[in-house]
Amino acid sequence: MKDMGEANSGKFIDPELTADGSPRARVALTDPQTLWFNTGTLCNIECRNCYIESSPTNDALVYLTADEVSAYLDQLEARRWQVREIGFTGGEPFMNTEMVEMARRSLARGYDVLILTNAMLPMMRPRVRDGLRALQAEYGAKLTLRISVDHWSERLHDVERGRGSFAHTLRGMRWLRDVGIRMAVAGRSVWGESEEDARAGYARLYAENDFDIDAQDPGMTVIFPEMDDTSEVPEITTACWDILGKSPRSVMCATSRMVVKHKGAATPSVAACTLLPYDSAFDLGKTLADAERDVALNHPHCAKFCVLGGASCSA
C-alpha cells in the first residue's frame, strides 16, 4: 500500500541484483518454527503509524475462518514442518468472531499459540472472555497473548494509539492477569530512548500492576525498531552476511510464513513475511509447499527491520 518514497529511489527493484549490480541476498526456509495467520486487517482503533494500515475500515485482508486455519494445520503435518508455534495477528484478531476457535484448534494439535492483541474492547466481550478462560483452563501456558503497549507511559502510548487507549489496554491486561493467562508485551523504539531506559520503564509498569512479565527478556518484552518506508535504507547483498557477522538463518523468513486472505480472493495464500502482506512479490502461493521457496530481500523492511534491526515477530 505504502510506496518506498524518494529516499530509496532506484533500490529494491530487481529481485536478483541491488541497485549497484551486486547479487541480492536471499533467504531459504531452513528451520520453520512459526506459522502465522493474519485474521484480517480490521481493527477497533487506527494507530498513527501502523505497518499494516489496520483500521476500522481497512478490510484489504478479510477474516480467515477456523476451517481455513485447520486446512493449513493439515498441510503442516503433511509437509512435516517442525513448527512449534502458531501465531495470530491482524488487525485486531479478536475482531474476528472465530479467533477463539482458531486458537483452540491450534492448541488441540499440540502447538504453542501466540495472539497479538491490543487487549481492548474486542477482547473484553463476554463471549471472548469466556472462550479465553476455557482455553487457559485446558492449555495453560501453551497460550500467550502479546499485548501492544507502544510505550510504558500513558502519554506516549496514547500519542500513537489515541486518547484513552492506554487505560483500556491496562484494563484488559489486568483481566488477563486475574484469569492467569500468560502475557507478553510488544513496544516500539520510536521515541529515541535507550533500550535500557525503555526496559526500566516497562519494569516499573509491570511492578505497579503486578504483571508477571519479564521486562529484560526480549522474548517477553519485545521492543520493535520503527519502520519507515520513506527513510534511506541500504540494500542487503550476499556479501553483507560476512560483513555484518550474521547468518541468513537469523532472518524471520528463514523460520516463518504467514497465511493471509486478500479481499476478493477465493482462497487464502501464503506470504513470506508478516510485515509484507500486500506486496505481491512476497506472495509465495496458495499452499505451504509453494511457500518453501527462498525469499529475495527486496524491500526496505527486509534490511531495516529484520537484518539490521534484528527483530522477529515470533516469541
Q: Which residue has the cell 481497512?
A: 58
Write the pLDDT tens digit of every residue in 24-39: 999 999 999 999 999 9
Which residues share a beta bridge with 35?
86, 257
Name the residue among 226, 231, 245 with its Cα closest to residue 311.
226
The answer to whether 297 and 26 have CB atoms below 8 angstroms apart is yes
In a domain, 238, yes or no: no
Q: List the grid coordinates of 50.
A: 501502523
The closest alpha carbon to 281, from 30, 8, 26, 88, belongs to 26
Residue 183: enclosing H or E segment and its boundaries? strand 182-188
Distance, in Å, from the CA atom of 27 to the CA atom of 25, rounded to the nearest integer, reads 7
What's residue 1's pLDDT?
45
CATH at residue 95: 3.20.20.70
Of 128, 135, 129, 134, the closest CA to residue 114 belongs to: 135
pLDDT of residue 132: 98
The reply to whether 4 falls in a domain is no
Number of domains in the chain: 1
Per-residue model confidence as pLDDT tens digits over 177-220? 999 999 999 999 877 899 999 999 999 999 999 999 999 999 99
Note the pTM of the prediction, 2 decimals. Answer: 0.93
Confidence (pLDDT) at 2: 47
Residue 57 covered by a domain? yes
- Environment class of 263 (CB within 10 Å of its CB; exposed 0-12, middle 13-18, buried 19+): exposed
Domain, as residue range, for 262: 28-232+246-308
Residue spans of the chain under pLDDT 70: 1-8, 227-230, 310-315
Burial of 131 (0-12, 13-18, 19+ CB in 10 A): middle
Please give the pLDDT value at position 152. 97
Q: 225 with 203: CB under 8 angstroms? A: no
Q: Cell numbers for 297, please give them.
A: 530481500
**Does 13 reside within a domain?**
no
pLDDT of residue 233: 86
Within a domain: 200? yes
Which of 13, 29, 9, 33 lies closest to 21, judged by CA?
13
Q: What are φ and ψ of residue 222, in 5° steps?
A: -95, 125
Helices (H) and strands (E) in the chain, counts: 8, 11
Cα–Cα separations (whole angstroms), residue 141 to 103, 135, 144, 158: 13, 10, 7, 30
DSSP string, 197-236: HHHHHHHHHHHHHT----TT-TTTEEEEPP--TTS--PPP
